[in-house]
């Protein structure tokens, strides 16, 4: 079997960080799955906010596609330079595609992956809108089983609804907020430290300094997130009365 790190590198090489897609092609790609969970990576390539290009969060798209391969979940990720910021703008094309997929495939949970810088004092930051997008208990239980914890140190530490709760800044509509408040689908944002996802930085990355993550920590993270996807799929979520699944895409 191909090593997870080798496969992660293969998948990431397909991402065009700062190149627009060919005419008529979307900035994002959907890997179809067979199970009612979608893994999202809206910052897998560079994106545009307020007229400025913001750097990609490398290996988040590759991670989303790898987890989809391992679990049978759906994945939607930015694969080319985006003219909008899908995790900010309410009218981002990525969100309309996400809504369409939630409706068509009866998605019941969206796991939104982001990349945190290597200097952060946590391995994974969990954002659930302070429990409004989903109860964090299921996520914590799985990650605890893989050695992550709120009281652990650095790359094993979990930051829960503190640094990146998923609420966003003024005027921002995060993917997690969009899913919870517009689509009425359970969702959580995960910010993954660079040491837990970047196998080796590509020459085309915005960050020019060479960087290699921690191989065993990356393997542990892949295993933990694959287990998390499985548990989130098996969980019998409750939804607000009258919302139901699926939801129609926004007009």
**CATH number, domain containing residue 67:** 3.40.630.100
Phi, psi of 67 (to 5 degrees): -65, -35
Is 239 domain-assigned?
no
Question: How does pLDDT run across 29-39, given as a tens digit for each residue?
Answer: 999 999 999 99
Give the number of domains in the chain.
1
Residue 251 within a domain: no
- Please report the DSSP string for 17-66 in residue order: TTSPPPTT--SEEEE--SSSEEEEETTSS-EEETTEEE---TTHHHHHHH
In a domain, 240, yes or no: no
* Angle (deg, nearest 10), helices 60-71 and 4-12: 120
In terms of residue numbers, what domain contains 17? 4-234
What is the reported pLDDT for 10? 97
Answer whether residue 93 is part of any domain: yes
The answer to whether residue 108 is domain-embedded is yes
Residue 248 domain flag:
no
* Domain presence at residue 250: no
pLDDT tens digit sequence for 25-80? 989 999 999 999 999 999 999 999 989 999 999 999 999 999 999 999 999 999 99
Domain contains 243: no
Q: Name the stretches of the chain with pLDDT < 70.
A: 1-2, 239-251
pLDDT at 2: 57
């Amino acid at each position: 079997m191909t090593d997870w790190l080798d496969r992660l590198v293969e998948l990431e090489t397909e991402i065009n960080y700062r190149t627009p897609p060919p005419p008529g092609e979307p900035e994002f790609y959907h890997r179809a799955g067979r199970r009612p969970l979608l893994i999202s990576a809206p910052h897998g390539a560079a994106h545009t906010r307020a007229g400025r290009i913001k750097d990609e969060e490398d290996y988040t798209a590759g991670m989303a596609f790898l987890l989809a391969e391992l679990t049978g979940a759906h994945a939607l990720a930015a694969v080319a330079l985006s003219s909008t910021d899908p995790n900010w703008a309410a009218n981002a094309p990525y969100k309309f595609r996400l809504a369409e997929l939630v409706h068509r495939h009866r998605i019941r949970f969206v796991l939104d992956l982001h990349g945190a810088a290597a200097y952060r004092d946590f391995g994974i930051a969990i954002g659930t809108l302070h429990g409004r997008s989903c109860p964090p208990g299921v996520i914590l239980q799985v990650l605890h089983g893989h050695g992550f914890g709120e009281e652990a140190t650095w790359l094993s530490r979990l930051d829960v609804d503190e640094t990146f709760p998923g609420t966003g800044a003024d005027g921002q509509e995060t993917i997690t907020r969009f899913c919870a408040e517009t689509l009425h689908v359970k969702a959580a944002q995960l910010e993954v430290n660079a040491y837990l996802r970047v196998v080796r930085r590509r020459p085309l990355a915005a960050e020019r300094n060479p960087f290699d993550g921690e191989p065993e920590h990356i393997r542990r993270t892949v295993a933990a997130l694959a287990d998390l996807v499985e548990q989130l799929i098996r969980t019998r979520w409750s939804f607000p009365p009258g919302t139901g699944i699926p939801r129609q895409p926004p007009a």
